[in-house]
Structure 1
Amino acid sequence: MTHTDTSLVQEKLLARINEKMEELNFMRPIPPGSLARLHEEMRLIHTYHSNAIEGNTLTLQETKLVLEEGLTIGGKSLREHLEASNNAKAFDRMEDLAKKKRSIDHVIIQEIHEIVTRGILEDAGKYRTRNVRVAGAVKTPPDWSKIVKLMDELIKMIAESKENPIETASFLHHRFVEIHPFSDGNGRVARLLTNLYLMTRNYPPVVLKKEDRGKYYKSLRAADAGNLRPFANFIARAVDENLTLYLSISGGNDELLPLRELAIETPYSQEYLSLRARQGLLDAVKIGKTWHSSKRAIEQYLSEHGKKDV
């Protein structure tokens, strides 16, 4: 990576993330009970969304039943069940590696892939030994004979990066899927490696949502064309959103509440606040189909935009 003085991430968004990181660090250590609940929630929603992006048809509730109850869902394939249990196990392993502050290397990359694709691919945990084409992709992945060299370069660049961790994680994610080192499962592994990199630097894990699949692939295509900025901001928004979720465990002004409840204390309707949330002007997260925010975020919005809106 080439160091530049100009951040790829929008200045205001990065400032908000840095402010939230300070708040989160002030909260640490997070009580064990709260931490365990966060782990279970992140494990479930990461597994569901990461698989759904790739076409797995298990719903969030079905994924929860597979992971927590070990149930078999009628009408769903064995592969879909394996994808759910494997991805959850890989998430656990990723968290364990993050706690140990392990640097990303060939062994870790191949280990995570082996867990993700165990019982699904014959070459689980092994770099591909043939050329492939990716459906819908403009660029063809590099020749298989170049993979080890390209991965060597990527691992070295990540280890030596002096950029903001979010930018480095974005570069890692994009370059990894661009190299496409495995015959299948590259997207799932990329999302886990992105989290491993961020978590070793004390960020919470991020979840890239199925609903944002279009934006995800569009920003990756922009990175293919040499513009990493849209993808870096896409990852940054995911970081920002999960920081909000983590901070909400402290309750008080950071507790997440539906916008319909928060709107009562403002001059605005729920619909208007939802619009501002979609525009990124109101710090909010979507849980299911409902926008949530906090009293702190509402107060900040009113101080910055209130007079202009009324």
Structure 2
Amino acid sequence: MISITPYLQADTLGEYQDKLLELYMADAALNKTIPESIRKSTEWLLRQVNCFYSNKIEGNPTHPKELLKTQEVGGSDNAREFTGAILELLAHLEAQLKAKNTSTSMAGVCKQDFIKGLHQSFYEHLPEELLTVKDTGGRVAIDKNGKPLLIVPGEYRTLPVKVGTHEPPVATELNAYMSWLEQMFNPERIHGTNRVIAAAALHHRLAWIHPFQDGNGRVIRLLTDCYMRCAGFGGYGLWSITRGFGRDTQSYYAALAEADKPRQGNSDGRGILSDAGLLHFTKYFIETALDQVKYFSDLLEPRKLGIRVDYYFEMRAKGGLPSSSGDDLPLLKIAARGIYRLLLEKGAMSRAAICQHLGKGEQTLRPILKQMDSEGLVSAKPKKDIELKVSTNAVEFLFPQIW
């Protein structure tokens, strides 16, 4: 029998019940405000943000500019040329896409096979040197046969581990704990704002169980993204809680450590873990989510975004901006601003429609569209409508403080 409080009841949260309602309303407002024309590009950007911060939490030192530069040169198609740190980021990007595109029911999001699949999708294409487990001192861990211990993608650990001062359940107990988690956190059995309370507890409880030899943190944050979508946040993907965790890693780990604490007396719940500690983490989780949805709502507010777009293209017309690699960007005619603003407002359009709206001839706009396509500002494939994109060179200008 698993003697752990799965998640707290809403009435224990006090004023944080109001913050939960505020969170849902802020998400709904963001979801309603953002036009379809920019959703695809914004979701692409959020995957980069999630990738950077989730791996930063795990100690990956790669700068966002390196990640964006990697996207420019073909990503995983040129995997042999990249460092291990970059390969981890590329694997994380692919795992995010696979998780988003995997068809699973609401009940399936906590199934053991789904959670194992998240782990497998991250590790399955990494080289063996990145599957080698290291101890806290950075030394290669050795298995019972005297060989280097390797992570097995999608499989639970078989050896004991220690995370800081916390000693997770032994390997022989993992199936029981994961079956408990699968049953208790099924979102079909949880309703209303309780799903966010459950999402917070799930995040900690899976970290506490620590089912995999390595990669638990990344899997937990991937699972949290999936669970938040099930919790009814229609705008999730336009904002992300992972950025909040990664912006202040010390507070993130401190909040998790509070929930790791054993029960502090008879008034602190009935399980082996502290309900007060879980309450602390749940409040931290709600505050972090609310902070992030507010940040992205302000960042993506159409009027403010439009001002930054105007200024970016005015600077490009003067030749005053560097690329993501630090080189000077070539001049870009000011007509590019009109194209970008039009696509931002209307969505994908044919070349003829763009010319008609802007009152420009096709010969005038053709070289501008070609340059915008080469820089990743638009997608201008033959016989296809022109689509808006977020250029790696424009990210930090159009979306300040995203990193």
Would you call these one fold, judging by a TM-score over 0.5? yes
1:40, CA displacement in angstroms? 1.1
Match of 2:227 among 197, 200, 205: 197
Q: Does 1:241 align with 2:291?
A: yes
1:26, CA displacement in angstroms? 4.2
Q: Which runs of 5+ in 1 are unaligned?
A: 259-285, 291-310
1:4, CA displacement in angstroms? 4.7
1:289, CA displacement in angstroms? 8.4
Contact 1:95/1:196, CA 8 A, preserved across alignment: yes
Normalized per residue, the structure richer in helix is 1
Match of 1:182 among 188, 212, 218: 212
Contact 2:10/2:194, CA 8 A, preserved across alignment: no
Letter in 2 for 1:112: L
**How do 1:103-182 and structure 2 match up within 5 A?**
103-118=109-124, 119=126, 120-121=130-131, 122-134=151-163, 137-159=164-186, 160-162=189-191, 164-182=194-212
Contact 2:10/2:197, CA 8 A, preserved across alignment: no
Contact 1:97/1:196, CA 8 A, preserved across alignment: no
Q: Which runs of 5+ in 2 are unaligned?
A: 1-5, 132-150, 262-273, 309-398
Partner of 2:375: none
Distance 2:283 2:12 in 1: 13
Change (3 A) 1:31 1:97: farther
1:48, CA displacement in angstroms? 0.4
Partner of 1:251: 302
Q: Does 1:14 align with 2:49?
A: no
SS at match of 1:202: coil
Letter in 1 for 2:285: I
Contact 1:50/1:188, CA 8 A, preserved across alignment: yes
Count of residues paired in the alignment:
256
1:79, CA displacement in angstroms? 2.4
Distance 2:281 2:181 in 1: 18
**How do 1:56-135 and structure 2 match up within 5 A?**
56-70=60-74, 78-97=83-102, 101=106, 102-118=108-124, 119=126, 120-121=130-131, 122-134=151-163
Distance 1:173 1:26 in 2: 28
Distance 1:99 1:50 in 2: 23
Distance 2:220 2:305 in 1: 31
Cα deviation per residue 1:201-235 (whole Å; 9 max; x = unaligned)?
A: 33213224433100000000001112122322332
Cα deviation per residue 1:11-69 (whole Å; 9 max; x = unaligned)?
A: 45334313213424544xx5433111211111001000100111101001112222443
Partner of 2:250: 214
TM-score by length of 2: 0.57
Partner of 1:231: 281
Change (3 A) 1:90 1:219: same
Distance 1:188 1:168 in 2: 19
SS at match of 1:55: coil
Letter in 2 for 1:229: L
Contact 2:258/2:280, CA 8 A, preserved across alignment: yes
Task: Kindly name which structure, 1 or 2, has the bigger radius of gyration based on alpha carbons.
Answer: 2
TM-score by length of 1: 0.72
Change (3 A) 1:174 1:103: same
**How do 1:220-299 and structure 2 match up within 5 A?**
220-225=256-261, 226=274, 227-248=277-298, 249-252=300-303, 287-288=400-401
Cα deviation per residue 1:109-153 (whole Å; 9 max; x = unaligned)?
A: 11110111222334011011111122xx22201100000110000
1:250, CA displacement in angstroms? 4.7
Aligned-CA RMSD value: 3.0
